[in-house]
Amino acid sequence: MSALSLAASMGYEDYRPHLVVDAVNELHPLGREGALDAVAAEEGLGCFWVLRVLFDPPLPPVRLGEPVPAPPADTLERFPIVLALDVPFLVVRGYDLGGKAQPVSAHIDELREHGRLREQPLRPATDPEAVHAAFVAEWRGAFGDEGLAEVEPLVDRQLISVG
């Protein structure tokens, strides 16, 4: 099974940053169009997270409903992903859907037209303490302490797969 297939199949509870890293690094050499073609051939929630890391902002917003926990007033540019020392953290437990969720294909279409592939593959740090500190600095830089206590347990659970 490809790294992209593994990452695409992740839900919220089984999110693992290293699977997104592997998928991004597998797709990066394909270039923008090749990577988007590969993602278009997959199905799964994890494709949203891969695209948010594979491409540089600005990125289209993820329209899956109301994120849980709700983000602070301003969001980070890759939200619901926060990238800390090249480790991508998912900072939501899910979404409360009030209508029809946006398909991944909407992101692919937008990125085909306006997307800019990241310049380099990911090189994630392997020191969990340094990664945690970098995450907290990223979060506080955007939001101060607002919401940090709610997302830190999610990040701590994901840190298990770092290193």
Instruction: Please classify residue 14 by burial: count the beta carbons closer than 10 Å to its beta carbon, then call 0-12 exposed, 13-18 middle and 19+ buried.
Output: exposed
Residue with tokens 């690094």: 25
Question: pLDDT-derived band of residue 137, with 50, 70 and 90 as boundaries?
Answer: very high
- Other residues' Cβ atoms within 10 Å of the Cβ of residue 91: 24
* pLDDT over 90 (residue 127): yes
* pLDDT over 90 (residue 33): yes
Arithmetic mean of pLDDT, 3-11: 95
Question: pLDDT-derived band of residue 94, with 50, 70 and 90 as boundaries?
Answer: confident
Among 49-53, 154-158, 159-163, the minimum mean pLDDT is found in: 159-163
pLDDT digits (tens, 9 = 90+) for 44-85: 999 999 999 999 999 988 888 788 877 776 677 898 999 999
What pLDDT score was predicted for residue 124? 96
* pLDDT over 70 (residue 17): yes
DSSP 66: E
DSSP 20: H
**Domain count along the chain:** 1
Tokens of 90: 């998912």
What pLDDT score was predicted for residue 74? 66
What pLDDT score was predicted for residue 117? 97
| Mean pLDDT, the chain, integer | 91
Closest CA to 21 of 44, 45, 4, 41: 4
**Residue range(s) defining the domain that contains residue 69:** 3-159
* pLDDT over 90 (residue 31): yes
What are the helix and strand counts (H, E) for the chain? 7, 6
What pLDDT score was predicted for residue 22? 97
The residue that leads in pLDDT, 55 or 94, is 55
Contact 28, 51 (CB under 8 A): no
Tell me how far apart the alpha carbons of residues 118 and 51 are, in angstroms, rounded to a whole number.
10
3-state secondary structure of 148: helix
Tell me how far apart the alpha carbons of residues 52 and 46 are, in angstroms, rounded to a whole number.
10
What secondary structure, in 3-state letters, does 77-101 show? CCCCEEEECCEEEECCCEEECCCCC
